[in-house]
Homo-oligomer: A and B are copies of this chain.
Amino acid sequence: MIDLDNLKNQLQVIAKYGSAMAVLGWDEEVNLPPNGHVFRGEVLAQLSADIHKRLTDKQFVTLLNKLNKPDSLKKLSLDNQVIVRETKKDVDLATKLPTEFIERSVKLSSKAFPLWAKAREKSDFSIFAPVLEETIKLKQEEAELIGYKDSPYDALLDAFEPGMNTKKLDAVFEPLAKSISDMIKTIAKSPKLPTTIYDLAKQNELNHDIVATIGYDLESGRIDTSPHPFQTTLHVTDVRVTTRYDEKDFWVSLGSVIHETGHAMYEQGLPAKYWGTPRGESMSLGIHESQSRLWENFVCKSQPFVSYLYPLLVKKYGTLKYTEEQLYKWLNRVERNPIRVESDEVTYNLHIIIRYEIEKDLMEGKLQISDLPRVWNEKMKQYLGLDVANDALGVLQDVHWAHGAVGYFPSYTLGNLNAAQLYAAAKKAMPSLEAGFAKGEFKQLLDWLRVNIHSKGRTYSSTDLIKHITGEDLNPAYLAEHLETKIKLAS
């Protein structure tokens, strides 16, 4: 099939540019000397423009449309149909956004980032407000270019979570917010562990040992240090994670390494033979986040995992000043915190829902930028019962809007919802699963994820995938039930 091979070859060339960008991006966060940032931005812009040009190239689009005709499609294998169908979606989206618009977006976020950083540093929202207003206007323009049925926010959501929209999210998020707000009324005082110094080199060794045991292939990956932990894929044979360290809290690094390893194992489990095509790509942010959350919160904060972890800590750091039971309770503590990234897994979802409601109202023109700090603080009080000390610890805490990422936040809670439902299905399918964790056995779970999720690429939409695996639509009851156990531990 010459046309199909031609399409695949061109997609693989595009993927090579994507890989180069991933290396440059990784290096930017991990290594780049201060003076190197400006030029690095120019190189990334060049490569990004090349990808856009190739994806919207006339001959390429003609080839794709030819393959996408019903007569041609039905001659293809199911895997190849996925490639054509999903590439068509990508190309349609790329075509809707003209180069001029992309350039304006990149420029605006270049301008917005330092203003946000300054505003946060000085805790002065007025420094960021004008450029945030511009950003929202640009995102509204983007929504118009992409098109939508009900809300302009739907157009943005769809890019991160194909098929997702405000109607569906409202139906899940509203009851979730209510039930969590009710739950947290009963939280007792949060447990503390006695102060312990954890040598950084030893933390690094332990992190490597644990994620290698879990299933992260370090022959095809590596762990580095960066201010904001992340995972990036340079290729299926080179999937990297980063972390950060706190000498007084080993979980700061281990927890984030496990989280990022969850992402990394998804990427390492994508089918190598389809690398560069949608059949070899991850499904959505919400599915991606389900993998990181599943390992971080469902596996690695479980009682059996803590039984496995505790002796490793003792071996590394000597006798500890706390028991295994204390460690387990401390890892699972629930504690209201005004900062999203420092929150426990229960209240975390309220942080997301607040951002979702605000983004939706901004996009729909129902909320003015000037009212944003007030509304933020009101919602923090309403949902979390917290008073926000200042805007740096409030509306200015996240970098996302400065990067022009609007519609991204819901994926975090979708990840939690997906993880809860998937983990329940996994436990049902493998009753001895958690018993294995205590012995350091994780292969059963990883294999199950490989077969059911990782190997599928973009074959199914996230909603179809969840239904396919768990036998039902996305059901918030699983997450609620899981969070209840945390609340019980904490009260």
Contact = CB atoms under 8 A, between A and B. Distances in A.
B33 A218 contact: yes
A107 to B, nearest CB: 13
Interface stretch (A12-20, A66-74, A178-186): A12-20
A33 B32 CA distance: 20
Range of interface residues on A (Cβ < 8 Å): 35 or more
A208 interface: no
A222 B30 CA distance: 12
Nearest to A50: B50
Given A31-B222, A34-B219, A219-B34, A238 B40 contact: yes
Contact of A27 (B13, B27, B46, B219): B27
Contacts of A222: 31, 33
A458 interface: no
A43 B234 CA distance: 10
A62 interface: no
A217 B235 CA distance: 33
A42 B16 contact: yes
A35 interface: yes
13 contacts: A16-B43, A16-B47, A20-B24, A23-B43, A31-B222, A32-B238, A33-B220, A33-B221, A33-B238, A34-B219, A34-B220, A36-B234, A39-B238
Contacts of A475: none
A237 interface: yes
B33 A20 contact: no
A237 B39 contact: yes
Interface string A201-238: 00000000000000001111110100000000011011
A38 interface: yes
Interface of A: 13, 16-17, 19-20, 23-24, 26-27, 31-36, 38-40, 42-43, 46-47, 217-222, 224, 234-235, 237-238, 240, 275
A346 to B, nearest CB: 36
Query: Which 4 residue pairs are nearest across A and B when measured between Cβ atoms?
Result: A36-B238, A35-B237, A35-B220, A39-B235
Nearest to A30: B31
A135 to B, nearest CB: 23
A100 B205 CA distance: 44
A27 B23 contact: yes
A221 B35 CA distance: 8
A347 to B, nearest CB: 36
Contacts of A26: 27
A275 B40 CA distance: 13
Nearest to A42: B16
Contacts of A27: 23, 26-27
